[in-house]
Structure 1
Amino acid sequence: MSDRYASFAHTGPGRALVRRLGLPDPPRLRRHRPGDPLIHGPVRLDAAPGGRLVDPVGKILTVAGVEVADRTAAAPPDQGPYGALVYDATGITDSTGLRALFDFFHPLARALRPSGRVIVLGTPPELCASPREATAQRALEGLTRSIGKEFGRGSTAQLVLVAPGAERAVESTLRFLLSGRSAYVSGQVVRITPAEVPEVDWERPLAGRIALVTGAARGIGAKVAEVLADDGAHVVALDVPAAGDALAEVANTVGGTAVQLDLTAPEAAHRLADHLADRHGRVDIVVHNAGITRDRTLGRMTSDWWDAVLEVNLVGQERINDVLLDRDLLPTGGRLVGVSSIAGIAGNRGQTNYATSKAGVIGLVHSMAAPLAARGITVNAVAPGFIETRMTAKMPVMLREAGRRMNSMAQGGLPVDVAQTIAWFASPGSAGVTGNVVRVCGQSLLGA
């Protein structure tokens, strides 16, 4: 589905009209293309005194082939343009130290390229040594969310909270957030825990892994299957029998296999587990993408509609997880990824069933992170905002335009934006990334 307003705004007459009337100005986003460098332009890296991450991050960037600007040199305000600004704030131990953030970002606010990246590194407040340090570290969230709304031109800003001992587990997250893969992710807080990270082939990080994608016949699910396959995974694409032709096309396109199965059917989880055990002996990545909507205000909703949405969007996921875990089909190093929604964060009129199910996905991530970590398995979720799909194409035009414009990017996201975020969660390099719910919404104003 095309965004005609954005296409017009990118023309000469369109740009002039947008500026004159103060209309939303959708930037051209830098999305990943094969062969692209990790980041365009040098990275300015600096730290508050005592920062524990600046040196390991500098080494990661250098090995990744990124040009790191000399942080010891006095940089004039107009130096740049930089591809990214990365600041290690772990050395800030009380609120007076927050002035260091102003001193770093103020002279560089206009030195960032279009679609540039801002990353602030901090310590999880609950792991800080004192209440004052925890207070200062919590303040970083307000900074990064505001920068995401201020810097514009397709730039993004994120806060990465790295637990002590997790310094070597940050590479996968840095690579994702600096690259074009995170084009529609902004204003997010990512937490990284200590973990053993294997050697990773960053060109094909999922080589040799088996990935199950539910709801794979179309839309976001089909794109997830494609991206995971591009990263090297063998994809088991699953959808209902009614979508069999489309599902077969997806599976053939990505070189995977198709499974026609209604996950609400009795014994569906066991039948799926039998298939995975017989064909592959395991499943390394499970992406719970299957979902439905049955929209109506709560007072007018039928019990059947309520039950159907909860069954597909949440209860079915729990059943599959339970069976796969009980039968040890998800091994150490496994990845569970759920698809939530900003409706599960902010709620949505006429979608009480859907919002309840998607909030439940967030609850699943938070409740399962610790017990799964003991088995070496991560669990995370994406929460998409307005994504250009056939479903959003059917929305009333005013609601559709509001969904597109009410975010820092002034445009809708694409299925590939969700898929790339899932691929980051699925990477073996993301062993320390668990218990996270990351919004893929262009920093939507809803639930902000």
Structure 2
Amino acid sequence: MVDDTSSSPSKRVWTYALVLVSVVALAFVVVGLVLPSPDPELTTALPPSSESQPTDTAAPETPDVVSEPFDQNAPIPGCDVVEVPDASGYTTFTGMGNPSYDNPDFPWFSGPKATAMSAALAAALPARAEIAFAGPSQPLIFQPITSLGDPDPEPRGSTVASGEVVSGDVRGTVSVQVQRSSDAVPACVAGQLDQRRTLPDGVVVDVHDTWQEVDGVRALSRTARAYVPDGSWVTAWASDATGTNQRDNSGSVPLTIDDLMRIVVDPGLRVSTPVAPGTPVPMEDCVTGFESYEGPPVTRERARELDEILATVDLGGARLPPMVPAGRSAQGMLCTGVEDLGGDVGIYVTIVGGQPVPAGERPVPGRGSQKKTRTLADGTVVQTDVTWQSGSSTTDPRKPIRRTTHSVVVTRPTGTRISVSSTAASPSEPMSIQELENIAVTPGLEL
């Protein structure tokens, strides 16, 4: 691993030059606002990161929240009976679990299923709408499911795809949630829908167009929620929220109610729709040992040009997925990777511009390092490393295994830094250092 950043107590230390973010156990709280809100089911509160935690223990001020007023006695088109909202205001579920594309509690879902659903979602967007250029967890890619931990016989959990969408000069956030449920179609509740539509094929769709003000700032949102006879509950939600922390508002929602309707009734988003053989697993978020180095912003067009260059790399028939920004905060860094080229051998690539030429050697944390550095005739610095990790087999804890990582980091005089690494668990071997270097010095890989 190459790390040219200064050390600090808060800095993450990564073993590999590039790794895919592993799925870890986490505790979480899902809070659904029963009173009218932009969309309660799509609100998931995860523990804050160390960067976002408050520096003092004082209780935060309660925000002033104002929702669009409604008449709880007014009829709702398509509803025979309209119920009054729950006076308690909130419903909270707490649980712990492992978010996974292969969660045994949800046999209908898998990595290939997530890929197929993501493709269906992208195709269901109107032609005028474009998904904003973002990292793997942000460009409307369905994410792993975590069980909510409730004691019901039918485990509750859903997969969600979120991202910013640009429609003409309008930008906002779109989220789509899919879950399987054997429950009956919920009752109509005042303030939570404007209309219920029952389609000829038996699909029931609730739509809602509303607003909410928090401390005087108005946020707009629209929702379509489909209840499908096969047990699919599909919710599409669009708002005018923008920015990394969703704290800005554009004043316009990028999708109409009809747009959201087309999404939620799309057969490709239903839990019973089969997946074509050979469909790949989505690429997970990737991070790097030099993540703190954020290079100049990279356009989608430049990323596609780099994809064409990387497509010339011989990976024995495999092809690297399109490059995407490496995380939500590193928009100037691109990454791609294949977790299994065959024989549990993976390859991962990151490219970032605006980087300093490495000044010198630093010891690598951990054991078994064989780090070397050399400078080519044109001033390009090549750093190579071989590391090992020992562990046990996940299928047989008594069986020891060793995971080997080969990594090459090339820093060009122009400031472009290319990191290429390969990992494999015994008895397989990763790609050789020479093979990785040949990829890293491929002409044209420049930012």
TM over 0.5: no
Greater share of helix residues, 1 or 2? Answer: 1
Bigger Cα Rg: 2
Greater share of strand residues, 1 or 2? Answer: 2
TM range, smaller chain:
under 0.3
What's the TM-score, normalizing by structure 1? 0.22
